[in-house]
Structure 1
Amino acid sequence: MMVSWAMVSAAVAGCVLLLVHLVLMVACAPLARGLLAAGMARAGGAERVPVLGRWRLILSCARRHGVRAAGGAEIVPGAALAVALAACVLVPSFALGLPGGGLSDLLTVSGLLVLARLLPLLAALEPGGARAGLAAAGDVTALAAMQAVFPLAVAAAVMASGHGGIDALLVRLRDPDMGGGRVSAMLLALALLLAGPDVGPGDDVRAADMMVDLGGRGRAAMELARDLVLMGWITLAGDLAWPGGLAVPQADALLPPAISLPGAVAAWLARTGVICAGIVAARVVVMGSARGTRGRLVLALLFATLAVVVLFADQEVA
């Protein structure tokens, strides 16, 4: 069976777009964390925090030669970064139909994002340091509680599209006759934002304590992986909340038209900024106390349950 030049050129162009997508995700991940830090400092009346501070920290760590971690913890930073990159590859940012879109399953992506956050806990527990171990134990408790929302999120996606594929779900949500599915997707986006990212009170302190025994490139890899996980959750929630901003292939085409891509990139950047502003507002209003983790869990479960209920009601009406 002969392969046409059109298919080969489309595959090459798709790989280029996928590379652009990954580069943008990596470049913007520390900026998103920097925006959150700057916004929270401003809202709390603290000293001004530079938006580029995260990138400066990562690059500064990468230039230094840190002490090699002991035992299995030596491979954890690289593994966490690889898992976070894999998750970000599967989360659509500005276009659908890119290579690997068929593997972009909500359960797979959520699992990779959770795994990328769990791996640093292993690095913190391995050396046996009290400070890192206590921080890891606290993060394990918070993370385990937050995972209760993900089965409901996957159930809502399956009900909306017939399976958990993210690309198929987003294409379905762009349908004008989707009805209650759009409301359900908005609720699902809110649930994921509350359950996934480590943006609650004390999360930054625990992350710093867990990495206290890391240095050099290992610390840089772990910091970047943490930012990529945050970017993955923000992008996934933004896709669900506003799928109309994504560029999609036209009929009988493998890739979106080139003319639609600049606008789609701008839409992705805009919704990322809006979500960061919303997280800052939620941090001040909902997560500003020591009970922030409990409040996040209750709200996340509430929104995820409502997403399923709305879909049930919509199907009953239909």
Structure 2
Amino acid sequence: MTSAATDEQAGRRETARRLLDSSETLSYDPVREVDWETALDEDHHGASPEWSTLYGTSYWAELTPRQQRELTRQEAASVASTGIWFEMILQQMMLRDFYAKDPTDPAFQWALTEIADECRHSIMFARGAAKLRAPAYRPRRFVIELGRTFKTLASGEAAYAAILVAEEVLDVMQRDWMRDERVAPFVRTINNIHVVEESRHMKFAREETRDRLRGAGWLRRQVNALVVAIAAYFIVTSMVSDKVYANAGLDLRRAIREARANEHHKSMLRSSCAGLMEFLASAGLLTKASAWFYQRANLL
């Protein structure tokens, strides 16, 4: 092993040790931290209104405050359900990646810690969606099957960069929600827990992406950039199910039409992903082909 490779491995282990230490000192138990007992207060939103897919449209302006709040509650539940779906993909990819590796390696131990975090997050999101009185929102069957294939085949930088995309998009919107007093207090607590703990996960994903790309050639970067962008497209476009509009009592066709044309929401997504796109570009994972998918998903 060369001196540079030894230094890189030592640096990777040190990062994992720091993340393990952080997890020991700053982690939460959602069962105790979240107020699950108090009844849902319908005077609160489920998410910051500005993040609603209809905010800024003529339809939004016609909705009563009560309808607006119900819509954001359904949208927040849909985002949570999509989060559960991808967290299950994430856990399987990490287990497969670290299968039969050295358990004394801090990176191995951190991977198990992150998987444990994601299990708690998924349960927390599930309970939160139920408290918001929302049904089980799921991606379309086609997307579910794509996810099944992706979690089985994706590895290396493709897996970790895709993990980073999903976590970064959620992180920015949830930082807004957790500070917004219009949002239900239990939802704000959920968001705060997720933001704090996911910050460690994102650091690990960035480090793993960089590490796996060392020495990667042009073709490999081109292929993986495209794989990550396609995954990002389906993750982001699945976040808010079309069914939220009907469940909020809205005109489904009109809501879908206006949401898809909503420039305000597209702008919110693009601004939330500025740092992510900068990272992907620096890693050589933002190519002309991949940019097309990010633009289609309103991330670029």
- Greater relative contact order, per chain length (Cα 8 Å cut-off, separation 6+): 1
| TM-score above 0.5, yes or no | no
